[in-house]
Amino acid sequence: MKNWVRVCTTTELLPGEHTVAWDGDTAIVVFNYDGDFYALEDRCSHEDFELSAGSFDADEATIECALHGAKFDVRDGRVLCAPAYLPVPKFPVKVEDGAVWTCDDRG
């Protein structure tokens, strides 16, 4: 069974915004892309650096790492350009009771 972590209310995370939540030791960056919520591990797959420090392009649904410029699709974590070559883990998101929830479901 998943232990869902409450991120924020839906009104606190508007389209084009992102925020960070923690599930235990796992930092999770949660995006509102065009009214839908997506969650990725807040850790660039290139080096250990927080993706949430980068810029979220809410038109393209991408996050660009602030350290060396790798880009990822916020909807599924796939890598779009070097210097990263591996995807970022994607986590589940649900909206319930007016709030956004996520969890690290890797067991």
Return the number of the residue (83 or 89) whose C-beta is nearest ligand FES. 83
Return the number of the residue (6 or 68) whose C-beta is nearest ligand FES. 68
Question: Closest Cα partner for 100 from 4, 2, 10, 1?
Answer: 10
Return the number of the residue (13 or 44) whose C-beta is nearest ligand FES. 44
Q: Which residues bind ligand FES (CB under 6 A)?
A: 44, 46-47, 49, 65, 67-70, 83-84
Shortest distance, CB of residue 84 to ligand FES, whole angstroms?
5
DSSP string, 90-105: EE-EEEETTEEEE---
Q: Are 63 and 17 in contact (CB under 8 A)?
A: no
